[in-house]
Amino acid sequence: MRSSLLPLLLLASALAVACDGRPSPTNVPATPSAAGDTRDGKGAALAGDPRRRPGYVVDSVLPTDEALHRFRAGLPDAPASFRHAAPSRATLVRRFADAVTRADTAALRALAIDRGEFAYLVYPESPYTRPPYRQAPGIVWMMLQQGSASGLRRLLRDRAERGAWRALSHGCDAEPVTEGSNRLWRNCRLQVVRAGGDTTWARLFGVIVEREGRFKFASFENDF
C-alpha cells in the first residue's frame, strides 16, 4: 500500500548525515507513487487509494459494525497497544535496515502491524469505516497484505542481486496525518549507501503508524 492509511491503509535509520543538494532527512519532498497515493489529506492514508485499483468494489452489503465483527472472529485477543513496536520512528527504521541486511523476513514482518492491531487499533479509526471511503476491513487488510508481500519480495530480491546497503538517514512528510489515536507518517524515504559507494534516497517501505508513542509499519510497499 503506498503512502497513506486512509485510502490504503492501509498500511529508517537515525544516523543523520549532511548531503549537498539532497532532500532534508526531516522533510523529504513528496513524490507521486505508481499506486496512486492520496495527497489531499482527506482520503485513505495507508496504502494507496483502493478506488484506483483494478477490480475495486465497494462492500456495502454488511453494516460496518457487522463486517468488523466478522473480521475479528477467530482473533486470539484484542490488543490494547501495538505489540513489539519501536519506541521511535528512527529506531523502527534502524531495525528495518538491520533486518534487510540479514534478509530476516521474520524480523521484518514483526515490524509491521498484525491482523489484530489492524482490526482493533487501526481500521476502526480510519476513513474506511464511513463514506465516501467506506470499505470492508477484510478487503482493506487483503490489499495491505498483498502490497506488503510483493514489496518484501522486491526488496529482498534487490538486496540479493545488488548487494547489501547501509542506511544513513530517513525522512517523511513534515506533518503526519491524524486518524484518532493514530498518526500516519507518509512518503518516507531512506538514504542509503550501496556497496559501490553510490548514495541515494529511496522509498523502501510504506506508511509508518505511530500510536501512543509506539511505531510500526503499515506495509512494506516500495519503489522497487
pLDDT band at 45 (very low <50, low <70, confident <90, very high): low
Helix count and strand count (H, E) for the chain: 5, 9
| Nine-digit cell string for 116 | 489484530
190 half-sphere exposure, CB direction, 13 A CA radius: 29
> What is the reported pTM?
0.76
pLDDT in tens, 131-151: 999 999 999 999 999 999 999
What is the full DSSP assignment across 115-160?
A: HHHIIIIIGGGSGGGSTTS---HHHHHHHHHHHHHHHHHHHHHHHH
Under 8 Å between Cβ of 151 and 174: no
Report the pLDDT value the prediction gives residue 196, as an integer from 0 to 100. 81
Residue 213: is its pLDDT beyond 70? yes
Let me know how long the chain is: 224
Q: Which three cell numbers stand for residue 91?
A: 529506531
What 8-state DSSP symbol labels residue 3? S
The residue among 7 and 222 whose pLDDT is bigger is 222
Model pLDDT for residues 152-193, shown as the tens digit of each residue: 999 999 989 888 889 999 999 999 999 999 999 999 999 999
Collapse the DSSP code of 89 into the 3-class scheme (helix H, G, I; strand E, B; otherwise coil) and give the result.
Answer: helix
| Nearest alpha-carbon partner for 132 in 20, 35, 38 | 38
pLDDT in tens, 61-112: 789 999 999 999 999 999 999 999 999 999 999 999 999 999 999 999 999 9
Residue 164 confidence (pLDDT): 83
DSSP 31-78: ---TT----SSSSEEESS-GGGSTT-----SS-HHHHHHHHHTT-S--
Cell of 33: 507513487
Report how far residue 64's alpha carbon sits from residue 134's, in angstroms, rounded to the nearest whole number: 8
pLDDT at 129: 96
DSSP secondary structure code for residue 91 in this structure: H
